[in-house]
Amino acid sequence: MSKAETDYTPYTSGNGLVEVEDEKNDSANTSLSQTGIDVSPNQEPAATIGSPASLNEFEDNTNLPKMNLLQIFTFFFVEFGLMAWGGPVAQIARIKERLVIKRRWITVARFNRVYAVYQMLPGPEAAEICMFFGCLVGGRLGGIVAGLGFILPGFLAMLLLSYLYTIVGLDNVYFNASFRALQPVVAAMVLKAVFKIGEHAFVSNKTKKFNRVLFILALLSALQSALRINYFITLGVFGIFYSLWARGWKWVAGGVMLLNYIGYALYVVFKGVPSPTALALGIATVPDMPHLLALGLVAGSLSFGGAYTAIPFVQAEAVILGGWLAKQTFLDGIALGNIIPAPLVIFATFVGFQGGNTFGGLGHAFAGSVLMTFGMFLPCFLFTIAGHSLLERICRNETLASFFDGITGSVVGIIAITAMDITKASIVQVPKPNVILDSVGLITLAARNTLSAVIFVLSFSLLNSVRHQYISILLVIVAAIAGQFLFIDN
């Protein structure tokens, strides 16, 4: 066996992505294990983003294949884009197994470092890691092409489903029956995501142990959402608070938090309790093309901790403030995103399609889906193409790392409130305005709400007890079929 097959030499691949290996630190392996990605004990120890790194350049590219841009696109399209089933854990595990364990493009330790960095940044990690590998074999253009190859299958599938949903589903009793059963399944998935994100969001970056302050920030962010304090105020204040707290400036951090609640009290005194629309920023009150692009950009930039963290921001803008997307339709879009090979944030394609269709018909619908998807993924493209070594230096900055930790912790509370709201909407449905139900109609409505509650409980239980990577897909398929027997209007 050659040295290239057994040893790893740090190098620069000619595209500015300087990578180095560190030893004697397994915290990134711990991070991978917490997310469900296998890290066996006989693998190399992982380096962490906080360990020292040399920026010397080397030219040992032995383990990387020579690929042109078309080959890169085809490889990532077929190998990972078409096979992106099962959510981020399954996607990242497949990338690691194919490129690190089998093909040995990089060492396990280096992969763990890469994953640790992208966990701290917004955006779907699987797409970012594909772009990282694309950069290694093809420079920055290779990274862009690899990212497109990974995203394109899911985007095309969601675009087709969005079109079918619009022209068939809105008035079709069979279509609606399946989605009535799917909505509590989606609510269970969102609630499950709260616990999943919390597994690493409440872990201190320094000690790798449970951090009570981050947990309290999650509780306070849930409180602020209930008080209808704007999401962006919450994220900014809590990020600043924790960056000050982590530096030992606890009195200053406490002052920032106190000013936050004094400001809210003054607002209530002079303007009254904020309305539900106060949660939103107001960037997509009208679903025209510039606003859909802006909504995608904001949601993509704030998706710390996973795809589900984008849900509260999109819902606040499109459902609560904009009012151009019904909550049940929003849930249907999330459900569709779980049955196709794609990053979960692909629900943005569906939202953009519905918004564009509302604004100007099918022509605008296709344009809106493209623009909102572009906005959702643009931040992760920019972060990755900027260069992994630059991202490592940024994340190694203790102040910025603590700021990101504060944001990630507070996002958990925001998602928790959103999960409760989505759960209520998916289970409890009321008659349409100006519709008076007789006794039979009321009994039927109550029975269906009860069935929805049962579906929610069963789905949440299975998501927590069954560890199969395709459990989400299986639940969606079973629920869609069950809806034909449980919710058909005769």
pLDDT tens digit sequence for 406-420? 888 888 888 888 888
Choice between 54 and 426, residue whose per-residue pLDDT is larger: 426
Percent share of the chain, pLDDT over 90: 31
Residue 299 has pLDDT above 60, yes or no: yes
CB 134 within 8 A of CB 388: no
Residue 210 has pLDDT above 50, yes or no: yes
Residue 40 has pLDDT above 80, yes or no: no
Residue 287 has pLDDT above 90, yes or no: yes
Percent share of the chain, pLDDT over 70: 82
Q: What band does 220 get if pLDDT is binned at 50, 70 and 90?
A: very high
Question: For residue 321, what are the contacts with CB-CB under 8 A and spacing of at least 6?
Answer: 277, 279, 280, 282, 284, 285
Helix 27-34 × helix 108-120 angle, to 10°: 70
Closest CA to 308 of 457, 419, 423, 153: 419
Question: Residue 146: what pLDDT?
Answer: 95
Q: Could you give the C-alpha distances from 424 to 138, 319, 327, 483, in angstroms and in order? A: 48, 15, 11, 18
Domain spans of the chain, in order of start:
3-152
Q: What band does 457 get if pLDDT is binned at 50, 70 and 90?
A: very high
Question: For residue 33, what are the contacts with CB-CB under 8 A and spacing of at least 6?
Answer: 39
Q: How is residue 468 annotated by DSSP?
A: -
CA distance 372 to 375: 5
Candidate from 59-73, 339-353, 472-486 with smallest mean pLDDT: 59-73
Q: What band does 364 get if pLDDT is binned at 50, 70 and 90?
A: very high
pLDDT tens digit sequence for 162-197? 999 988 866 778 888 888 898 899 888 888 888 877
Choice between 266 and 8, residue whose per-residue pLDDT is larger: 266
Question: Residue 244: what pLDDT?
Answer: 93
pLDDT tens digit sequence for 198-208? 877 787 666 67
Tokens of 289: 């093309």
Question: Residue 75: what pLDDT?
Answer: 95
Residue 57 has pLDDT above 70, yes or no: no
Neighbours of 57 (CB within 10 A): 11
Backbone CA torsion sign across 329, 335, 336, 342:
positive
**Radius of gyration from C-alpha coordinates of the chain:** 23
Question: Residue 59: what pLDDT?
Answer: 35
CA distance 404 to 414: 15
Segment 428-449 mean pLDDT: 77
Question: Residue 432: what pLDDT?
Answer: 67
pLDDT tens digit sequence for 344-356? 889 999 999 999 9
| Mean pLDDT score across all residues of the chain | 81
Question: Residue 205: what pLDDT?
Answer: 62
CB 347 within 8 A of CB 91: no
Question: For residue 124, what are the contacts with CB-CB under 8 A and spacing of at least 6?
Answer: 88, 303, 306, 307, 343, 344, 345, 377, 380
Tokens of 192: 């499950």
The residues that bridge with 107 in the sheet, in sequence order, are: none
pLDDT tens digit sequence for 238-268? 999 999 998 889 999 999 999 999 999 999 9
CB 67 within 8 A of CB 75: yes
Residue 282 has pLDDT above 90, yes or no: no
